[in-house]
Structure 1
């Protein structure tokens, strides 16, 4: 069997085994077509409407490129290669509506739902078992617990297939040039040393460029004030939705209530409800809830539907914020907030539980990237800053 998918980032992506096309054809994987990769970023960059679907296929492709490197290929047996490719393809299968945004209200992370989908009552689970692939092994790779550490590093580290795809894909989708990692050079010069994925000293500049690109993508794209505004408007919308439910408000429409009932009680959303939700469903729910008699829920639903988000700014003083709050005529509990965020790091040492360091091999001596890179050792501060949330538009 041969199948190719044309991709705007990597060109032709090749699938040599029906296992992968069967996984892609499942309902759970097709759902990823309806989940925008950047969540609120789509409201900043009109062309950033690429999906988790294309990203997951891209990660599969980058893993295949790593396996074309003989130094890596010979350290992974055929069985583990298949499991590795499956893990790359499915690593984001558990993302909720609006990607990371949904985790602001969910009682479980997307990683936990990924495990549920792979191991639970799903089409994906059936496809894996029917093709002789152990779902538990796939999960072990995604969680970084596979017995082959090289396999773990290719899916989950500070320089893995996931980041090598999403940085280039998100940069292209957003129409910015902050991040175009030299994938071919980095992969070609990857090696295995002491059972670790390492990189030749000649890749040092390419890796620094990769890390700086990631840093600027966070600053200019992932943490853009409009994206932050969308996230916090969504959070306020759910806060009001939950309050009304817990106080026995009589909703006109039962569908939104039934879908979120477990989360209202701070319980995990059942898997069948979770995989039913996607970006399209959420916009339909905003339309329904905009018709409610409660002015706050109706207004917040309208803001989410029509890009009239609460404003997010770090450029005002706390005094100015408090003055706006004092003069506001509505319920400040759903329109004003102060959140704190840390500056993104360029590179950090891994925890004891999981080795995600980037290693450089120079003259057969292994070093942590931070010991060789002048850029990484620059005094990049992890400052904590306040972001003020308040209404840019009047309550309608």
Structure 2
């Protein structure tokens, strides 16, 4: 069964096998239509309303393009090719509302829910088994522990299908020109050498451009102060919700509170509840809770609903922040906070103690990217900065 999907990033995306259309048509995958890729970024860039749904299909497409490369094709079996494509399609299936934002309050990461959805009692799991695809093998690819390291590299590395899609998709969605990687050129010049996925020296400038684009996307889009303000307002809102639940507050809408009961109690949210959550659900919850009698919960719900988030600044001194907090007339516990964040690196050979080196093949000899790049061969310091969260006006 052939199917084409028109995409604003890649053009026509060819869906070659019925198993992929069946997976896309499941309720678990369709939920991704209702989860905005950039979370709080939608409140900064009006056109950044693309979803995890389109991103996952985009990653599937980029993997298909990698598998058209003659060298890669020879080193991946037909069985592994199908598993790899499924892994690309499903790699973000476990994302919660507002993408990464919900992880700030959840007891589990989205990767864990991805595993649960693929291996649990779901339509996705049923379809995989009906098509003789081992769910555990799909999970092994997503987690980067598949027996074939080339397969792992295509889904989980510093130059993988995931990043090649989301950087371009997010750049187009946000309406900025920081990242337009030359995907075709990079993929066409991918090589297999000594069992590793490497890249021809012809791609050096394209890879530098990709990594610099990623750096600027983090600085200007992913870490935009309004997006960060949304995240922290959401954290404060959830803290108030949890505290009221713990205190035995009588909520007008008790069904909403029942949805988060396990998280309030430090337990994992059951999968059937989690897959009920999306951005639309959360906006309905904000609307519902702004009718509560508790003034703090009401205020924070209205802030989230109407883009009146708490303010963010890295320019305040600690003394100024403390003074502002002491002069505040409301309950400062839900309106003031400070967070220390690490600076973004353009590129590192190792991330979280994992070797994620990008290798360049030059004159049939493997070189680390940092050995050849004049731009990236810099002694980057691991800088940190503190940001302060506070309301623009006093809350009585």
Partner of 1:305: 305
**Contact residue 308 and residue 393 of structure 1 kept, 8 A:** no
1:219-368 alignment runs, 5 A limit = 219-350=219-350, 354-368=354-368
How much is the aligned-residue C-alpha RMSD, in angstroms? 1.1
Residue-by-residue CA offset, 1:273-327 (whole Å, 9 max, x unaligned): 0000000000101111111111001100110011000001112222221221111
Native 8 Å contact 2:330 2:394 kept in 1 = no
Deviation at 1:354, TM superposition (A): 4.1
Compare 44-53 and 360-369 and name the one that shifted more: 360-369
Inter-partner Cα distance in structure 2 for 1:353 and 1:323: 40
Q: Distance in 1 between matches of 2:218 and 2:180?
A: 14
Is the counterpart of residue 59 in structure 1 residue 59 in structure 2?
yes
CA deviation profile, 1:33-53 (whole Å, cap 9, x unmatched) = 000000000000000000000
| 1:351 CA drift (Å) | 5.7
Shift of the 352–224 alpha-carbon distance from structure 1 to 2, 3 Å rule, reads: closer
The CA distance in 2 between the partners of 1:329 and 1:147, in whole Å, is 59
What SS does the aligned partner of 1:329 have?
coil
Task: Give me the whole-angstrom Cα distance separating, in 2, the residues matched to 1:273 and 1:350.
Answer: 37
Q: TM-score, normalised by structure 1?
A: 0.98
Distance 1:226 1:353 in 2: 31
TM-superposition CA deviations, 1:365-387 (whole Å, max 9, x none): 11111122111112333210010
Alignment of 1:161-176 (within 5 A): 161-176=161-176
CA distance in structure 2 between the aligned counterparts of 1:306 and 1:351, rounded to whole angstroms: 37
Whether the aligned pair in 1 keeps the contact of 2:328 and 2:394 (CA below 8 Å) is: no
Partner Cα separation in structure 2 for residue 22 and residue 216 of structure 1: 37
Report the secondary structure of 1:147's partner residue.
coil
Deviation at 1:146, TM superposition (A): 0.4
Give, in angstroms, the shift of residue 394 of structure 1.
Answer: 4.3
How many Å apart are 1:91 and its aligned residue? 0.2
The answer to whether the 8 A contact 1:157-1:355 is kept is no
Deviation at 1:256, TM superposition (A): 1.4
The range that moved more, 331-340 or 377-386, is: 377-386
* Aligned 1:137-216 pairs, distance under 5 A: 137-216=137-216
